Chains A and B, each alone.
Chain A
Amino acid sequence: MIALVDCNNFYVSCERLFDPTLIGRPTVVLSNNDGCIVARSEEVKSLGIQMGKPVFQIQSELRKHKVAIRSSNYTLYADMSRRVMKTLGRFSPEVENYSIDEAFLNLDGISDLAEHCHRMREEVIRWTGIPVSVGIAPSKTLAKVANKHAKHTGDGVLSLADKGDQAKALRRTSIHDLWGVGRRYARMLMKNGFKHALDLREADDKWVLKRMTIVGLKMVHELRGIPCIELTLKPPPKKSLIKSCSFGRTLSALGDLEEAVSVYASGVAERLRQQDSLARTITVFLMTNRFQTEHPHYATSATMSFLSSTDDTSVFVQHGLVLLRQIFRRDQRYLKAGVILDAIESRGREQLGLFDPKHESSARLMQAMDGVNQQFGANTIRVGSCGDRQEWKMKRRLLSRRFTTRWDELLHVQT
């Protein structure tokens, strides 16, 4: 049996743990740059405010209902996620951290599943303060369905171990809400008369294989209770890494863009080293605001490859800046930039070049830099072109503190 544990309104729950005045009050968390709504409390959901709505469109509605607004504090959420996953580890030897707020658990061999999961749920809430829902089923896809319905049961745990219960739940699940059914497949399935997940479960294997490939067929089998998708306990290293973010305002000066590209290249290089890999290709892209109407939308990018793969921040920054100068146009106002690393190989398996210089001193420098930055905060040591003003940085006006990861931002309690 597999359980999917999902944190309820995770970002809002994190904010509420450290600010009890938010409990019971409609609360939203905004995306990077305070642009859109990315998390809503139950109160906000019942107000009918949609996920992903740009804030400026619903300003008055938010004010009318006295909705509390927070910028996204990913440092805090990541640490709370780590705590939740660690607690879950006590209840199963195999935990797949599927996303920041979801985990699949292997519950094979556990006798009283419902009791086990209730205890798990209570312990996560008590230890970490984060409420979770648990869906139990023979396959991952069914566990997702179970979890969705668990949110509306009183006790937050729903088991679909029984075939009859599975059918009942699938009848109440729309095709759109199925795990692995994207917008395009949903449209295709609707056109062919599939409305509920149950219809898809009964679909003909050959037809599914033809229209939705082997991936779709696996999903249909999973709906029938045959597990086809295994737990990914150790995520494979990423083949491509991207660091990209909108600016706090549009930029037209090359100097600002150089700072931004330097910061993004440094960030993505650090992630590359974290997964112990090397990259051979770098891409820099720029785009203007898609929603403004005065000028046509302009997006551009440039790519280059190195002779041999590397993980050296200074190499990425140096070449990133060369690419930036190639694609930069003086007459544009840019809103977003990004750096992508491709052709990623694990360290030790990389293709060596004939004329490669030895990079040992740079490896030790990078190690020292990562060490300092981990201990004293990101960008404590950085490449000079990252600048020190970084006025283009994203807006996070309503940011809570990093209560669990910074000594100078601890929660204050009045005795």
Chain B
Amino acid sequence: MPYGGRHGGAALDRGTSTPRYPDTAIFGHFWLRWREMAGGLALELFSLSVRVLFGLFLEAVLVARRVAIQLFLSPVAAGYPSPAQDYTDGALDLNEHLVSNPAATFFVRASGESMRDAGIFDKDILVVDRSVSPRHGHVVVAVVDGEFTVKRYSSRNGTMQLLAANKAYPPISAADECLIWGVVTYSIHAQSLCHRQSP
């Protein structure tokens, strides 16, 4: 910003006798001599209009300078800039990590022990993505005889089975009325009970 810089310097130079707007003085000097030679009413009028125009021009320059100064000074007034300001990131959001497709993702709460060996415990929150196609080995939320269940999906040798991850529970053969509701992509398990953990 050239205006602000120059003007800022002049304003601070309080001790010197340099005129603040030297252009005005020089221009006025030449003008007076020329008028002595020519004279006449028409030129008098002409000079008036030129002066008005010049005044407006000067005003505009000054206004422009004033605005420029404000812009120049304000960041300094705000204090020393943080050295990190060009390197900031937003805080991490777990949604980005756990939910790749928000429109198709549902949270459900697991209860029971049949998936213990797959790392799913009672009261865990499961992230279920309905847009993922179930494949062999996926943990799925399924509907069997009108009831929700969580099991490992198995489709070996052309037969579909729902397997528990706990020896105490027998596999469910998919010949029964069975529907895959969604694929469990993550399970959220509380390690230490904290105050926000709801039942």
8 A Cβ contacts from B111-150 to A: 111-115, 120, 125-126, 130-131, 141, 143, 146-150
CA–CA, A86 to B105, complex, Å? 12
Q: Which residue of the partner chain B has the closest CB to A85?
A: B103
Q: Is the interface of B mostly helix, strand, loop or mixed?
A: strand
* The one of A23, A87, A407, A411 that contacts B104, using a Cβ cutoff of 8 Å: A87
CA–CA, A83 to B181, complex, Å? 16
CA–CA, A84 to B179, complex, Å? 21
Which of B113, B130, B143 has the most A CB atoms < 10 Å from its CB? Answer: B130
Contact (Cβ within 8 A) A404 B106? yes
Contact (Cβ within 8 A) B110 A127? no
Q: Which residues of B contact A123 (CB under 8 A)?
A: 131
Contact (Cβ within 8 A) A411 B109? yes
CA–CA, A408 to B107, complex, Å? 11
State the interface size on chain A (CB cutoff 8 A): 22
Contact (Cβ within 8 A) B130 A407? no
For residue A392, CB closer than 8 A to chain B, the reply is no
Contact (Cβ within 8 A) B130 A408? no
Q: Which residue of the partner chain B has the closest CB to A20?
A: B143
CA–CA, A132 to B151, complex, Å? 29
Contact (Cβ within 8 A) B106 A86? no
For residue B198, CB closer than 8 A to chain A, the reply is yes
Q: Which residue of the partner chain A has the closest CB to B131?
A: A127
Given contacts A415-B114, A415-B120, contact A410 B130 (CB under 8 A): no
For residue A92, CB closer than 8 A to chain B, the reply is no
Given contacts A413-B148, A415-B150, contact A403 B106 (CB under 8 A): yes
A97 to chain B minimum Cβ distance, whole angstroms, is 14
A407 to chain B minimum Cβ distance, whole angstroms, is 6
For residue A210, CB closer than 8 A to chain B, the reply is no
A10 to chain B minimum Cβ distance, whole angstroms, is 16
Contact (Cβ within 8 A) A413 B150? yes
Q: Which residue of the partner chain B has the closest CB to A127?
A: B104
CA–CA, A408 to B196, complex, Å? 11
State the interface size on chain B (CB cutoff 8 A): 31
For residue A330, CB closer than 8 A to chain B, the reply is no
For residue B170, CB closer than 8 A to chain A, the reply is no
Contact (Cβ within 8 A) B110 A126? no
8 A Cβ contacts from B149-178 to A: 149-151, 164
* The one of A20, A21, A83, A415 that contacts B103, using a Cβ cutoff of 8 Å: A83
Contact (Cβ within 8 A) B109 A413? yes
B114 to chain A minimum Cβ distance, whole angstroms, is 4
Interface string of B11-42 (1 = CB under 8 A from A): 00000000000000000000000000000000
For residue A414, CB closer than 8 A to chain B, the reply is yes
Given contacts A20-B146, A126-B131, A415-B114, contact A410 B102 (CB under 8 A): no
Q: Which residues of A contact B131 (CB under 8 A)?
A: 123, 126-127
8 A Cβ contacts from A383-415 to B: 403-404, 407-408, 410-415
Given contacts A126-B131, A129-B130, contact A411 B148 (CB under 8 A): yes
Q: Which residues of B contact A413 (CB under 8 A)?
A: 108-111, 126, 141, 148-150
CA–CA, A127 to B106, complex, Å? 10
Which of A86, A407, A408, A413 has the most B CB atoms < 10 Å from its CB? Answer: A413
A18 to chain B minimum Cβ distance, whole angstroms, is 9
For residue A314, CB closer than 8 A to chain B, the reply is no
Contact (Cβ within 8 A) A414 B106? no
Contact (Cβ within 8 A) A410 B103? no
* The one of B111, B141, B198 that contacts A407, using a Cβ cutoff of 8 Å: B198
For residue A379, CB closer than 8 A to chain B, the reply is no
For residue A252, CB closer than 8 A to chain B, the reply is no
CA–CA, A412 to B111, complex, Å? 7
Q: Which residues of B contact A126 (CB under 8 A)?
A: 104, 130-131
Which of A410, A414, A415 has the most B CB atoms < 10 Å from its CB? Answer: A415
Q: Which residues of B contact A173 (CB under 8 A)?
A: none
Q: Which residues of B contact A20 (CB under 8 A)?
A: 143, 146-148, 179
Q: Which residues of B contact A414 (CB under 8 A)?
A: 111-112, 114, 147-150
Contact (Cβ within 8 A) B120 A86? no
Q: Which residues of B contact A404 (CB under 8 A)?
A: 106-107
Q: A20-B179, A415-B115 are in contact. List 12 more A-B contacts (CB 8 A).
A: A20-B147, A86-B102, A127-B101, A127-B131, A404-B107, A411-B148, A412-B109, A413-B141, A414-B112, A414-B147, A415-B112, A415-B164
